[in-house]
A = this chain, B = another copy of it.
Amino acid sequence: MITVQVDLQERSYPIYIGRGLLKQNSLLAKHIVGSEVMVVTNETVAPLYLDTLLKSLKDYRCAEIILPDGEQHKTLAVLQQIFDDLLKVPFSRHCTVIALGGGVIGDMAGFAAACYQRGVAYIQVPTTLLAQVDSSVGGKTAVNHPLGKNMIGAFYQPRCVLADTDTLDTLDERQLRAGLAEVIKYGLIRDIDFFTWLEEHASEVLAREPSALIHAIERSCRNKAEIVAADERESGVRAILNLGHTFGHAIETGLGYGAWLHGEAVAAGMAMAADLSQRLGWLSATEVGRVLNLLERAGLPRHSPEAIHKARFLELMAVDKKVIDGCLRLVLLRQLGQAVVTDGFDSDLLEATIDKATV
């Protein structure tokens, strides 16, 4: 088992990465507050892993809520269902919420824990590659609003993250590839050696070769933990984690949540960020080619879907959380392995990028 620490003073916590961790009840017990546990999961994950988790929780008074699967259910209405269930028992302020599932479950269960009785403990048990490398780490929780993704949420840290890599065995191919988009992101924003490693080992990761997969998860988590420790509430450097996300969120909101997976939208968004970086003279055609090539090998999209035309795309981008006083800022690549947050681009160049991507 590998442990990566997220260093946030009194809110510090470990990320455990390894095989068969779900069965290690002592690992969970160290981080559970109180005697009551609410497991939040979905209809895809529950038949696969809920029983295993509940066996590890046999010393606690447990309840579970099984939500529908998919980004389109990451809403205030579904959040209310979690509150309803917590209050029907009723669970006290000294309880623990466990998120068992992918990024949608983690975001919703975490936000529910942040708000229930003004904050209860929660633990992330991510079961998708995307959640294990990204969304379960760092305390960003949220639900979507019809007008913008992740617009309602909280910064609220879990007590631990338990990434059992055995759960990836049952992950469908499309979900695995979507997770790889966020893995590639770490290479692009701050870890060129990792990017190069991914170019060399993409096929092993896609074949779920355990040591390659665990290496990719660990290295991703170390990158994320360092950034989060430096800037928990995204007042600075943390924003580089959003490479491809402003474009990507526009795609997700524009198509309707759930049409594309989050990782797929981020992949197209990273391709667009690379394109705009090239227009600014920061990346060469060869470097952009390396980005597009790796995305292609991962089976990920490199264009916006046809359904969103250019004017709509610009409108959707205006609702981004990185907008300050009407000015859109984007995460772009100063070079491969070095992201910057900037508003220093001509709107013509941005429009050219969107033109190209939305044809």
Q: Interface of A with B (CB < 8 Å)?
A: 34-36, 76, 79-80, 83-84, 87-88, 90, 92-94, 114-119, 140, 142, 145, 147-148, 150-155, 233, 318-319, 321-326
Bound Cα distance from A153 to B83, whole angstroms: 11
**Chain B residues near A117 (CB-CB < 8 A):** 151, 153, 321
A83-B152, A145-B87 are known contacts. Are A119 and B233 too (CB-CB below 8 A)?
A: yes
| Nearest Cβ on chain B to A279's Cβ, whole angstroms | 25
**B residues less than 8 Å from A87 (CB atoms):** 145, 147-148, 151, 319
Question: Which of B35, B118, B325 is in CB contact (< 8 Å) with A94?
Answer: B325
**Chain B residues positioned under 8 Å from A152 (CB to CB):** 83, 115-116
Consensus secondary structure, chain A interface: mixed
A154 in contact with B115 (CB, 8 Å): yes
Residue numbers in B under 8 Å from A155 (CB-CB): 118-119
A192 to B313, CA, bound (A): 63
Contact of A154 among B90, B142, B154, B325 (CB under 8 A): B154
Known A76-B76, A90-B319, A319-B87; judge A35-B325 contact (CB<8 A): yes
Shortest Cβ gap from A138 to chain B (Å):
12
Given contacts A87-B148, A90-B323, A115-B153, 6 further A-B contacts (CB under 8 A): A84-B145, A87-B147, A90-B148, A115-B154, A117-B151, A119-B233
Q: What would 19 A/B residue contacts be, using CB atoms closer than 8 Å?
A: A36-B325, A83-B151, A83-B152, A87-B147, A87-B148, A87-B319, A90-B148, A90-B318, A90-B323, A92-B323, A92-B325, A92-B326, A94-B324, A94-B325, A115-B153, A118-B150, A118-B155, A118-B233, A119-B154
Closest B residue to A139 using CB positions: B118
User: Within 8 Å CB of A83, what residues of B?
Assistant: 76, 145, 151-152
- Identity of the chain B residue whose Cβ is nearest the Cβ of A112 in the assembled complex: B152
CA distance A36 to B148 in the complex (A): 18
Q: How far is A27 from B107 in the complex, measured between Cα atoms in Å?
A: 38
A324 to B92, CA, bound (A): 6
Q: How far is the CA of A88 from the CA of B319 in the complex (A)?
A: 9
A133 to B30 Cα, complex, angstroms: 41
Chain B residues, Cβ within 8 Å of A319: 87, 90
CB A63 to nearest CB in B, in angstroms, measures 14
Give CA–CA (A142, B115) in the complex, Å: 8
Q: Point out the residues of chain B lying under 8 angstroms from A326, CB to CB.
A: 92
Q: Are A93 and B147 closer than 8 Å at their CB atoms?
A: no
| A321 shortest CB reach to chain B, Å | 5
Say how far A34's CB is from chain B's closest CB, in angstroms.
6
- Given contact pairs A80-B76, A118-B142, A154-B114, A323 touches B93 in the complex (Cβ within 8 A): yes
Question: Closest 6 A-B residue pairs measured CB to CB?
Answer: A87-B147, A92-B323, A118-B153, A90-B319, A117-B321, A94-B324
Distance (whole angstroms) from the CB of A109 to the closest CB of chain B:
14
Of all chain B residues, the one with the shortest Cβ separation from A80 is B76
Task: Give the residue name and chain of the B residue nearest to A141 (CB).
Answer: B118
A187 to B72, CA, bound (A): 51
Closest-CB distance, A187 to chain B (whole angstroms): 26
Q: Which residues on B sit within 8 Å (CB–CB) of A318?
A: 90
